[in-house]
Amino acid sequence: MKTIRIFDTTLRDGEQSPGCSMNLQEKLEVARQLEKLGVDVIEAGFAIASPGDFMAVKAIAETVKNATVASLSRALKKDIERSYEALKGAANPCIHTFLATSPIHMQYKLKMTPDEVLAQAEEAVRYAKSLCSDVEFSAEDASRSEPEFLYRVFEAVIKAGATRINVPDTVGYAMPEEFYELIRGIRENVRGIEKVELSVHCHNDLGLAVANTLAAIRAGATQAECTINGIGERAGNASLEEVVMALVTRQDLYGITTNINTRQIYNSSRLVSTITGVSVQPNKAIVGANAFAHEAGIHQHGVLANKKTYEIMTPESIGLPENVIVLGKHSGKHAFSERLKELGYALTDEQISAAFEKFKVLADRKKEVTALDLRALVESDTFEMPSEFIFDTFVINSGN
């Protein structure tokens, strides 16, 4: 089975997401978890961006042994030298350099002609190659670039020594079918492309980063660039957990695997969320709180009978101990009865029916009915409880 390489850029592109900055120790902790997760490449940062970024790349490069460690550089000699200085202690270093290739970027941002861009890209890769054997070149805004010009640039940098060619959908503009055709065109028209890794880096501005990544893989891409929880610039990057679990779940369609230890996915997600302080939305695929939760009675009944009725992957496969049956107003009697058994109650059918009626009334007033609520419902016939409570006073304390 073909293996796709996973290039994780949580510590570089992910950290560029507003509010997601990390200090040195936090970056090291995430890097260790990424190594445990089994990613092939860890992009540790942008070495020239700040002294702190340089130190983080250097520390990660000296710590990580089982994954390649990359540092981003503009196609400038000073950037490349700074990346090399940070990476030279790595077991497997990679200098990642980039230059925009779309007409709008070349005209308005770079103020360079296509020939000038091609020459600078080639020169940057050649210089990076003189320092490091593993060099990735990214054609920024590739999805809005002219394909024929991309082919020229990629051929030139491959001749200059690039070992990885990256095709970014920098602004999340591409549709899956056209991104598929772009990757296929590169594979068919760039001489030497079979000798290097063909990578993709998709953004989620239109919610298609994962779809575009998977389309590119079908078209022949050999490396996918992702972030944990999909964090990143603007709307974020392709989510690592979604790309990986799509390939795992649909091996019948893709026939592709990765080196990821999927049982470390949930731990990785929680760590990044905790460190950045950015919560994962409850309905986020794979790692959201509701991803393996079932409230509707029909769903609950099906899952209790056979998990495969409503779960296309197991929670254990991503490192969760089990699914969650959430009791709410949509829940059915079957799930309610099972939950009472878990709480240790052995009730008759009549008692269950009476408690279920009370539960439905309560569920209409609360979003979620907890175990304490259920105990109160079952025991309300035994203990005399006040019909309502009134707050007399309350105090809020805060500090740092």
User: Do 250 and 300 share a domain, yes or no?
Assistant: no
d(CA 193, CA 190): 6
Looking at the predicted structure, is the pLDDT value of residue 299 above 60? Answer: yes
Both tokens of 39, joined, read 């990613």
Average pLDDT for 365-382: 74
Containing structural domain, residue 340: 293-379
d(CA 388, CA 400): 36
- With a CB cutoff of 8 Å and minimum separation 6, the contacts of 84 are 93, 95, 128, 131, 132
C-beta neighbour count of 357 within 10 angstroms:
11
Return the minimum-mean-pLDDT range out of 10-14, 207-211, 344-348.
344-348
pLDDT of residue 362: 86
C-beta neighbour count of 384 within 10 angstroms:
6
pLDDT of residue 331: 81
Look at residue 204 and tell me if it is in a domain.
yes
d(CA 273, CA 228): 9
Chosen domain end from 276, 307, 324: 276
Burial-class residue 293 by CB neighbours within 10 Å (0-12, 13-18, 19+). Answer: middle
Look at residue 365 and tell me if it is in a domain.
yes
User: Do 88 and 133 share a domain, yes or no?
Assistant: yes
User: Do 258 and 321 share a domain, yes or no?
Assistant: no
Answer yes or no: are the C-beta atoms of 245 and 32 closer than 8 Å.
Answer: no
- With a CB cutoff of 8 Å and minimum separation 6, the contacts of 305 are none
Look at residue 392 and tell me if it is in a domain.
no
pLDDT of residue 325: 57
Chosen domain end from 225, 248, 276: 276
Look at residue 59 and tell me if it is in a domain.
yes
- With a CB cutoff of 8 Å and minimum separation 6, the contacts of 326 are 290, 293, 294, 295, 368
Q: How confident is the model at residue 157 (pLDDT cuts 50, 70, 90)?
A: very high
Look at residue 391 and tell me if it is in a domain.
no
CATH code: domain of residue 204: 3.20.20.70
- With a CB cutoff of 8 Å and minimum separation 6, the contacts of 16 are 232, 233
Into how many domains does the chain fold?
Answer: 2
Extended beta strands in 46-92, E state: 68-74
Look at residue 337 and tell me if it is in a domain.
yes
pTM of the model: 0.82
User: Do 80 and 206 share a domain, yes or no?
Assistant: yes
Both tokens of 174, joined, read 């591409």
Average pLDDT score over the chain: 91
Look at residue 82 and tell me if it is in a domain.
yes
User: Do 134 and 172 share a domain, yes or no?
Assistant: yes
pLDDT of residue 78: 98
User: Do 262 and 318 share a domain, yes or no?
Assistant: no
User: Do 204 and 134 share a domain, yes or no?
Assistant: yes
User: Do 208 and 337 share a domain, yes or no?
Assistant: no
User: Do 61 and 203 share a domain, yes or no?
Assistant: yes
User: Do 227 and 320 share a domain, yes or no?
Assistant: no
Average pLDDT for 359-382: 77
Q: How confident is the model at residue 343 (pLDDT cuts 50, 70, 90)?
A: low
C-beta neighbour count of 45 within 10 angstroms:
29
Look at residue 181 and tell me if it is in a domain.
yes
User: Do 81 and 228 share a domain, yes or no?
Assistant: yes
Chosen domain end from 226, 251, 276: 276
Give the residue with greater pLDDT, 105 vs 267.
105
Which residue in this structure is represented by tokens 């990346």? 83
User: Do 210 and 297 share a domain, yes or no?
Assistant: no
pLDDT cut 70: percent of the chain above it: 92
Both tokens of 142, joined, read 């590739």
